[in-house]
Amino acid sequence: MTQVDRETRCIVNWRVLEERSEPAFQAMLDQSPQAERYYSDAFGVYAQLIYDPGQHQALPDKSQTYSVEGCNAELRHYLARLARRSRCFSRCLDALRHAIKIFAFAWNRRQLFKRTYPTYPAHVRDFVYP
């Protein structure tokens, strides 16, 4: 699960969850930076969470969640273990957490670079330190 700032398109929080439960989602939300507005898809658990002090709006379409959907598509593109060729996935959750941590670090550096220098080409791999 990822949370993305719509203005900068940076990943502000992410978690590898074993199950999509209300306690797991609420714990992630409590550890996230506070926002004025939260947007999500119509998954039922989102409506039951406490968004203090912001306001939550669940939408049936992707009109307000395009930033996080795009980020999730990039995650699946760059991390082969998340590709959806089948229902198989990496069983080692620690390896998945480390891969996503590296990706989120490089992704955020790239997004901030692109805001500062919009005409320069930037690839995610350029922002991973050797």
Domain extents in the chain: 2-127
Distance from CA of residue 128 to its chain's centroid? 18
Supply the pTM of this predicted model: 0.83
If we measure between CA atoms, which residue out of 112, 52, 130 comes closest to residue 122?
A: 112
| Helices vs. strands in the chain: H and E counts, helices first | 4, 4
Q: Give the model confidence (pLDDT) of 54-69 as tens digits.
A: 899 988 888 888 899 9
Confidence of residue 128 (pLDDT cuts 50, 70, 90): confident
> What is the C-alpha R_g of the chain?
15
Residue 4: its pLDDT value, please? 94
Q: For the chain, give the mean pLDDT.
A: 87
Confidence of residue 84 (pLDDT cuts 50, 70, 90): low
